[in-house]
Amino acid sequence: MSGLRERAGLSGAPLHQRFIAQFGESPMAQLNALRMQRAALLLREGERLVGAIAESVVYADALDFSYAFKASIGTSPSQYRSRHGKPFA
C-alpha cells in the first residue's frame, strides 16, 4: 500500500476514498478479489496442492485460505477444483 500511496501522492484516507470512488471497493477488497481469481485459475489448472496455492496467493495458512476462498467464491477450493478443473494428478 505504501507504494500505491507514493505513486498517487496521497496519504491513506484520501487514497482510500478515491480508490472506492473509482473502483467501488477498497484497495484491500480489490487485492483480495485478485488473489481469489488467481487461486481459482491455479485450482482449474489442477497441478498444485491447495496449500501450495494458498502460499502463492500470500496466505500463510491453508485453512485461512480455504475459509477466504469459500467466502469469496462460494465453495471450498477442493470442491471448486472438482467442478471446474482438471483432475489433480
What pLDDT score was predicted for residue 28?
A: 87
Backbone dihedral region for residue 46 (phi beyond 0: left; psi -120 to 50: alpha; all else: beta) = left
Handedness of CA 41, 44, 48, 53 (dihedral sign): positive
Q: Is the per-residue pLDDT at 72 higher than 70?
A: yes
What pLDDT score was predicted for residue 7?
A: 63
What pLDDT score was predicted for residue 10?
A: 67
| Grid cell at residue 5 | 500511496
Which CATH superfamily, name and number, covers 2-84?
Homeodomain-like (1.10.10.60)
pTM above 0.95, yes or no: no
Task: Yes or no: say if 10 and 18 are a contact pair by the CB < 8 Å rule.
Answer: yes
Averaged over 49-69, what is the pLDDT? 96
pLDDT bucket at 89, cuts 50 / 70 / 90 = low
